[in-house]
Structure 1
Amino acid sequence: MNEGNRSWASGAVPSTPYKDRAKYLSTTGFFPETLEIHWLSVINSMVLVFLLIGFVIIILSRILKHDFNHMNDDEGDENPEEENGWKIIHTDVFRFPNHRALFCSILGVGSQFLSIFTGILIFAVCGMFTVHRHGSLMASGVILYAFTSCVAGYMSGRMYRQLQGEHWVWNIILTASLFTVPFFLIWFIINSFAWAYGTTQALPYTTVLILAFMWLFVGFPLTVLGGIFGKNWAANFDAPCRTKNIAREIPQVAWYRSSLVRMLVGGFLPFSAISVELYYIFSTFWGREQYTLYGILMIVFIILLSVTACISIALTYFQLAAEDYRWWWRSIITSGSTGAFVFFYAVFFYFNRSKMNGTLQTMQFFGYTLIACYVFFLMLGTVGFFASLRFIRYIYVNIKMD
């Protein structure tokens, strides 16, 4: 159509309906181009899981079967000096650890985050998080953290009661503040700098008050309530072996059996199972893309837990075979050391893969990454401990002792 010196054309422009835009974005752009890499990473991780499970089931079962047969054949021999390895420390292996309040608090908060991650992944697979629901993932995480505080209180109080702890009030306070206090300190520093820079990333004081009231009137009371139930409903600790009053001397071990080597092995193998997916998570969280492959993420999460449990069982067995019964804290530290590898990868990503710069961006990246790695430590350390505990109960309940 012409009008004077101006001309224009009119017509229908095809567009994607609003309700189908999330589906359109999930089938174009960043992730579909690399979908084969995702599945290749999942397949490689599953192979690692099968190898580790095969190692734990076949190799350890053969070793344990040989040990059981040897012990049962020599049942009439009363000379204890002929025993060696994990069998000789049966009177020390269930000796309770030091710092029980902190120990049980880690298990409680780790169980809580395991519940949170499971819930978020279930919501994500069901389609609750889309590009049009801005902040829905973060809001779900905050709500789940508040309402799963009862899980932390229950698990911590239950374990503290089983380990014959006496300072119950301190245990509950430590459980409630084990994650909240470090998170608040880091967040307060970052948010203060964001306020100083005048950015919109700084939370307004009204939001801060809402979060504080949610923790004070929902999270903390549920932690106390869960601790009360855990303390009152906990049974006595089920130890197949009695513990002597005098602890056995621990022999020296070679360098390749040291705690540092166990931490490197216990952290690297679970990290290798999620390293590829970590790149895409970092790229979307600190970039402009939207993560949409939640089904693959759930598979990777299950693989991560499986690898962590298998590695913890294997490393615990080798530690007991070296006549070292201090497995309680070691199982948490070696399994939770995956968080350190995630942090090292984050440093590599920041300097070699991202284009972030400036004081505020650097503080946000490393501050929130440090919190995420701390969560990894708590959650995977809890998985490693309970896997090792179940394994140790199994092997000692099947041997014959006086």
Structure 2
Amino acid sequence: MRRLLRAAAPGGGRVFGVILTALVTLVLATLGFLSPASRGALLTAAVMLYVLMSSVAGVVAVALWGQMKRSYEDWSSVTLRVALFYPGVVMAIFTLLNAAIKHTGSTGAVPVGVYFAIVAMWFLVSVPLTFIGGKLATRLPIIDAPVKTTQIPRQVPEPPLMANPALLFFGAGLLPMGTMFIELYFAMTSVWLGFFYYLFFFVLAVGLLTMIVNVEISVLCTYVQLCAEDHAWWWRSFHRGGSVAMYVALYSVSFLSSTLGNLSGFLPVLVYGSYMSIFVIGLYLSMGTVGFVSSYVFVHAIMRAVKAD
């Protein structure tokens, strides 16, 4: 399980590039460099920034892997998973969706030339940049653990009600979801109903605020768990951080049945479900990584303080 987490959390480093891409794109749109009236320019800028951020994703993923494993051994396989996992999921969904659209004879299908251009950009630009970033990360020093741990894990007692894992999981995503709910509605309305959206500053502010709330909630839940003498916080901090994606998924279903209730036919629902699935998976990985990293830093800090005392 720990090895799986070592793959999942650094894999969020790939989505960390998505976060940076979204932030930079929103900053450029807020400053007026990208007009919402020209959606092609906005999308092109986002794709190019995402590809260029691959090096940052490689640095973050391998650095996190090294801190968790206490060495940079086998960093190349970590980098390969980062370069292929989330983009592979996105391309798989996109390929199936594009094939379904093309099968119906719709003109909305992506041309073959554009499709292979995207694939070439992925393998010829994004993957090499990820490996360059991963190689640079191996030169970073590994921070020493503040305390020594025993090889035999202690028995975890029965948690009290306030430290119940299920309660912490479902509660951790409520505040981040409440923070982004209003802007999420306007953003989804703009995307799926064809409205123009000019208030990118509010999207940027709400996005940053959601990340801050997620960090605070993750640290609080980890503290409550440690107070209950439960040391198994790694996976739970990851899931609690990403739990906001569960609420977004539920809201997307509600949005489909209420606001988009006039959609008819299998293909429109498939398009909606495919793109929202990509968004929810990316949100889960990114917020899960944010939750885990914030909890990791918090535990490292309190253990160092205990050692100092």
Residue number among 288, 291, 294 corresponding to 1:381 in the alignment:
288
Alpha-carbon separation, structure 2, partners of 1:349 and 1:173: 36
Residue number among 48, 52, 61 corresponding to 1:156 in the alignment:
61
Q: Is the 8 A contact 2:5 2:235 kept in 1?
A: no
- Per residue, is there more helix in 1 or in 2? 2
Q: Is the 8 A contact 2:146 2:307 kept in 1?
A: no
Q: TM-score, normalised by structure 1?
A: 0.72
Residue number among 213, 217, 220 corresponding to 1:311 in the alignment:
217
Q: Is the 8 A contact 1:335 1:381 kept in 2?
A: yes
Residue by residue over 1:205-261, the C-alpha shift from the partner in whole angstroms, topping out at 9 and shown as x without a partner, is 010111111111110000111111112x12123321111122222112245523221
State yes or no: 1:103 paired with 2:8: yes
User: How far is the alpha carbon of 1:128 from its aligned partner?
Assistant: 2.7
Partner of 1:171: 78
Moved over 6 A (4+): none
Partner of 1:345: 251
State yes or no: 1:269 paired with 2:172: no
Partner of 1:125: 30
Q: 1:199 to 1:318 in 2, by over 3 A?
A: same
State yes or no: 1:214 paired with 2:121: yes
State the one-letter code of the partner of 1:258.
N
Residue by residue over 1:162-215, the C-alpha shift from the partner in whole angstroms, topping out at 9 and shown as x without a partner, is 323643332121111121111111111110111012222210001011111111
State yes or no: 1:283 paired with 2:193: no
State the one-letter code of the partner of 2:44.
A
Q: 1:189 to 1:342 in 2, by over 3 A?
A: same
Q: Is the 8 A contact 1:100 1:160 kept in 2?
A: no
Residue by residue over 1:131-160, the C-alpha shift from the partner in whole angstroms, topping out at 9 and shown as x without a partner, is 442312211221111111111111111122
Partner of 1:145: 50
What percentage of aligned pairs have identical amino acids?
27
Q: Is the 8 A contact 1:161 1:234 kept in 2?
A: no
Q: TM-score, normalised by structure 2?
A: 0.93
Partner of 1:225: 132
Secondary structure in 2 matching 1:323:
coil
State yes or no: 1:184 paired with 2:91: yes
Partner of 1:205: 112
State the one-letter code of the partner of 2:302.
I
Alpha-carbon separation, structure 1, partners of 2:253 and 2:303: 43
Q: Is the 8 A contact 1:110 1:381 kept in 2?
A: no
Alpha-carbon separation, structure 1, partners of 2:208 and 2:10: 24
User: How far is the alpha carbon of 1:97 from its aligned partner?
Assistant: 3.5
Residue number among 313, 323, 326 corresponding to 2:232 in the alignment:
326
Structure 2: which 5+ residue stretches go unaligned? none
Length, aligned pairs only: 306
State yes or no: 1:336 paired with 2:263: no
Secondary structure in 2 matching 1:99:
helix
State yes or no: 1:196 paired with 2:98: no
Secondary structure in 1 matching 2:144:
coil
Alpha-carbon separation, structure 2, partners of 1:388 and 1:401: 20
Alpha-carbon separation, structure 1, partners of 2:9 and 2:290: 13
Q: Which has the larger radius of gyration?
A: 1
Alpha-carbon separation, structure 1, partners of 2:2 and 2:58: 20
Alpha-carbon separation, structure 1, partners of 2:306 and 2:76: 38
Residue by residue over 1:265-316, the C-alpha shift from the partner in whole angstroms, topping out at 9 and shown as x without a partner, is 1111100111111111111100121111101111111210111011011001
State the one-letter code of the partner of 1:353.
T
State the one-letter code of the partner of 1:167.
D
State the one-letter code of the partner of 1:214.
M
